Amino acid sequence: MFKSTAKKREELFQEQIKVKRENFNFELIQQFWSKHPNQPDEHFVADRTARDLDLDEVFIFLDRTTSRVGQQYLYRLLRTIPKSNARANEQEKLVGKFRDDLNLKKSCIQELSKLKKKEAYRICTLFQDEQLKKPKWFWVIQMLAFLSLSCLIGAIFYPVLWIAFIFIFIANFTLHYWNKKNVFRYGNSIPQLLRLIQVSKTIRKLTKTQSPDLDESIQKLDQIANRLSVFRLEDKLQSDVSQIAEYIVEMTRVAFLIEPILLFHSLKKLESRKSNIETLFSFTGKMDVAICMDTLRSTVDNYCMPVFNEREKAISALNIYHPLIIAPVENSIQTKEKSVLLTGSNMSGKTTFIRTIGINCLVGQTLNMCFASEFHMNKMNIQTAIHMADDLMSDKSYYYEEVLSIKNILDESQSEQENLFLLDELFKGTNTLERIATGKAVLSYLHNIKNTVFIATHDLELVDYLKNQYDLYHFSENVENDEINFDYKLKEGKLRNTNAIKILAANGYPKAVISEAYNMVSTLKQKGSETNLS
């Protein structure tokens, strides 16, 4: 049974609302972003920052796009922070258009679904990669095609030319299948480009978009669409036409070398129309992302659009939360001029809160949406040092990896731009005395009029050393009757009570270990040791 257009459109709309249950091939999703040149009006989000913020998982949650083009475009937006509000303003106009016209939204989703096949990931290679050039001996292909046609016509009057035609056919057969590797190289991208042209034309008409660049790009690509139709025909023949008809068509292509001649002429035209392809790609991507953002906002109970400070350096969040946590605990924080130092035990929520701030600052700047009731911030680049690991392949220890990462952050802190630095447990790969000394020195250096720092640490000594530059917050837990209860609520001020040994006891550590640990704490406090563990 064929589904009615209305029913299919409704199914696509309902499908778009849900989080996708598919395998995300980030090698293909990142392709457009990774090859796109850095623009002077934006910052690229570094790979380390993306890893530290679990950006791939965040992307999976955010992604409600319909087409592969839109998916790639969304990823690029997430990995580039604009320096102005122009991108957000353009996006909000489109989001409002789809929010106010549900039928328009459903119609566009239906069109975008035509670019849903994974082959559509390859469209961006047509304007980002250099196309194949004609071989220097291409004239041989043209000559053989001409001779083949001449012999076929001449054989009607001079049958002896059939012998020449057979020998030429054998040569053409060899060249035809030599060229197959080139056809296969473009067998995914060009058929999808033809779909992109049609989808762009339809969405432009549906949305009544007025854009001279878009109109010119569609016109120029329409001019070569017929030449590219050999790929669409091949795609159709593979699935619909009988093997006999396919064989006849294939032999015709062999005899007159239709494929290599059309391919190289088409690629020459495509090379000169790269900017036109990118214009259609970006137009379709923007439309898909706008629909995605409208859908995402309709599925989230608590969100806001960020407010960017024009003068003062501050981050203010009301009821902020991490979007990937089921039933998250919301917290609020307000900083002015100072940075933030967080203390608390393991699993109390310090690192998650650091990531929550980072994700909201990033998504707020890139997609104009925050997971909070209110969110105020400055335009800023984001640098992180949260997750470190030994690099066995390059023979780098945990500590050395951390040293290099923090050095990059120190260098970045002296740039002209404003920065947000998110740090977790500085220099924990070294001894306590030097960790506290270098930690204090680094944190003092990073905090200046342009930079805001969020640091999570177990070293309570840093609280007293940095209280004039950093606002103090902490997370805590209750340990009662050998049960540990975390409330994940952010609290102002210095952490007064520590529960590390209580947590060991609650997890069944031997009484002798617990007793000696308490005795050591008393001894160290009495000696005023440099390695104070409280």
pLDDT digits (tens, 9 = 90+) for 63-102: 999 999 999 999 999 999 999 999 999 999 999 999 999 9
pLDDT > 50? residue 530: no
* pLDDT band, very low/low/confident/very high, at 4 (cuts 50, 70, 90): low
On the CB side of 50, CA atoms within 13 Å amount to 15
CA-closest candidate to residue 488, choices 315, 299, 326, 361: 326
Q: Distance between CA 121 and CA 29 in Å, rounded?
A: 7
Instruction: Name residue, tokens 């056919």.
Output: 169
Per the CB < 8 A criterion, the answer to whether 313 and 378 are in contact is yes
Q: Which amino acid, residue 475?
A: F
Residue 152: phi, psi to the nearest 5? -65, -40
Q: Distance between CA 65 and CA 486 in Å, rounded?
A: 37
Mean pLDDT, to the nearest integer, of 433-444?
91
Mean pLDDT, to the nearest integer, of 242-258?
79
Of the options 2.40.110.10, 3.40.50.300, 1.10.1030.10, 3.30.365.10, the CATH number for the domain spanning 307-498: 3.40.50.300
pLDDT > 60? residue 416: yes
Lowest-pLDDT range of 52-61, 111-120, 231-240, 370-379: 231-240
pLDDT, position 392: 43
Percent of the chain residues topping a pLDDT of 90: 53
> What digits encode the pLDDT tens for the residues 181-236?
888 888 889 999 999 999 999 999 999 999 999 999 999 999 888 777 666 544 45
> What digits encode the pLDDT tens for the residues 447-484?
887 899 999 998 888 988 998 999 999 998 877 776 77
pLDDT, position 46: 93
Show the CA angle centred on residue 398, arms to residues 441 and 415, nearest 5°: 45
Q: What are the boundaries of each domain within the chain?
A: 5-126, 130-280, 307-498
The residues with which 470 forms a beta bridge, in sequence order, are 339
CA-closest candidate to residue 367, choices 60, 77, 50, 53: 77
Residues 6 or more apart whose Cβ sits within 8 Å of residue 303: 297, 369, 370, 371, 372
Tokens of 491: 């609290």
pLDDT, position 393: 46
Mean pLDDT, to the nearest integer, of 369-376?
97
pLDDT, position 233: 46
pLDDT > 60? residue 1: no
CB atoms within 10 A of CB 104: 16
* pLDDT band, very low/low/confident/very high, at 341 (cuts 50, 70, 90): very high
pLDDT, position 533: 40
Q: Which amino acid, residue 334?
A: Q
Rounded to the nearest integer, the mean pLDDT of the chain is 88
User: In Å, what is the CA distance from 279 to each residue of 203, 217, 273?
Assistant: 14, 7, 10
Instruction: Name residue, tokens 């000559």.
Output: 143
Lowest-pLDDT range of 157-161, 288-292, 359-363: 157-161
Mean pLDDT, to the nearest integer, of 122-131?
93
CB atoms within 10 A of CB 102: 11
Tokens of 383: 């640098």
> What digits encode the pLDDT tens for the residues 484-525?
788 999 999 988 777 778 888 888 899 899 889 888 888 877
User: In Å, what is the CA distance from 281 to each residue of 69, 97, 202, 394?
Assistant: 7, 20, 14, 39
User: In Å, what is the CA distance from 148 to each residue of 168, 173, 444?
Assistant: 6, 11, 80
